[in-house]
Structure 1
Amino acid sequence: METNIKEVLNVLKAPAPHMVGDGFRVHNFFPSGYQVNMDPFFLMDYGSKIEFSARKEPRGVGIHPHRGFETVTIAYHGAVAHHDSSGNSGVIYPGDVQWMTAASGILHKEYHEKNYSLTGGPFQMIQLWVNLPAKDKLSKPNYQAIKQSEMPVFNLTDDGGRIEIIAGNYRGLTGAASTFTPIEVYNARLNTGAQANFNFPKQYNTGFMVVEGSIRINGKDTAPVDSFVYFTHEGEEIQVEALENSIVLILSGAPINEPISQYGPFLMNTEEEIQQAIEDYNQGKFGYLEE
């Protein structure tokens, strides 16, 4: 009998962490941690929950360039400040999202927000690199600051929790972020025993990051906190049950299916374009940003 269930291919444990700057301890699930194809999501750095001590000088990452993709930072604990060479700046707090389109080239810096730094406390974030198709890689940089309060929300029945739609479309609700290609990004905040259903086209690359709690998928596969659930391309329907109060980042997207050439903070289609990016950066074409 043919089924329309999208089966779990793997439940992946968090790879060993490493530091990005002095403010972000991350587990790189892909591309270096595991060989999973999540196109158009090229990279996922998962910052599992950690306690930072109080400090006057904020920790973070200094000025660095990007070209050819978007960085999407999702906050769960703590607060992050951002400045870039296009004149954008902002702070994201728990539940908020910062969606920066580097595209033709940008300089930016990310660091712990001043007041959070002074008090310290729990810190937990996810950063995604979302690839851009070749035709959009040199488009104008952009910045979308998305507060949790501005996200469309689908409330589950019987106080089961809520689905916050960051990008894409869930049950007729369209996400807050504007995207270049079809992408689904939601935060599912599920109470114990709650069930939620998702439907994604077969060809989409789909994965769930368990940020808090633990879940059962399609009635059989369990995934604990800090694990990434990677799905097959068969079927479309996924059912999630929360085994305890849980937060799950839902990711699914139509693959761009173009060649990728990556060097450090540049994500292009060819080696020649990488060389051009390096040359443009060295010539100051990514703008200016004060230390």
Structure 2
Amino acid sequence: MSIGNSPEDERPFEDVSEEARPSVGRALREARIAAKMTVDDVSTATRVRIAIVHAIEQDDFTPCGGDVYARGHIKTLARAVRLDPAPLLAQYDADHGGRPAPTPAAPLFEAERIRPERRGPNWTAAMVAAIVAVIGFVGFTVVKGGGSGSGTDEVAEGTTPTAGRTASPSAGSKKPAAPKPDPTESAIAAAPQDKVTVRVSAADGRSWVAAKDHNGRLLFDGLLKQGESKTFQDSSKINLVLGDAGAVQLYVNGKKIDDNFQPGAVERLTYTKGDPQIG
């Protein structure tokens, strides 16, 4: 007879060993072996580096660079070895303090989400502004004497026949301005030459996206739903991480990037000024 202990205290402990519930890394490793795949095979299929695959299978998520990156790698590796990623992600969250909250977008992109309150048009103010603009343009044309080329471009949507006839008498006093090139079909193609402009569009599904500037400042960290897009701009370099690269379409400095990313693949990309190039 034991002293000070009830019979309930002498019951055997419940088995909560690793064999009862494998860790995330062990579950991925066993599934890979069962699928008859090597670490090199998994790395080739997912584009996740071999060193990171080895570390994750040992439950070492430090090389991933953070919980958000770790969750993306777990999801990608699970799909490659034919495992449902949801239970593994839930187990990872439980072991690491819960799912990380999305980081709010940088102030540069607040304008994309904030829209001014829609109000009815003020027709009186619009008419007054239009009359003032026409009078000012006519006066400017008469004083300058023949600014026909540039004046037409500036008021292409708001000019009137009267303004055109007023400028014609002095049209021969100066050489006509060189014709400007036709506007490009894509607005992003007009990106400034001295900066790098990257547009990420979730065309084929949703994807987690993170973007940093050349100083490492986080510009965006969150989920893009299908149909949504984000544009990032920096003076020299944009660093991207795509959680599901196969679901997005990239436009860099006005040019579409056709890299045929695989669905579910995690991609780390760097773009700089000039023609698109992957860093």
**Structure-2-length-normalised TM-score:** 0.29
Structure (1 or 2) with the greater strand fraction: 1
State which structure, 1 or 2, has the greater radius of gyration over its C-alpha atoms.
2
Structure (1 or 2) with the greater helix fraction: 2
**Structure-1-length-normalised TM-score:** 0.28
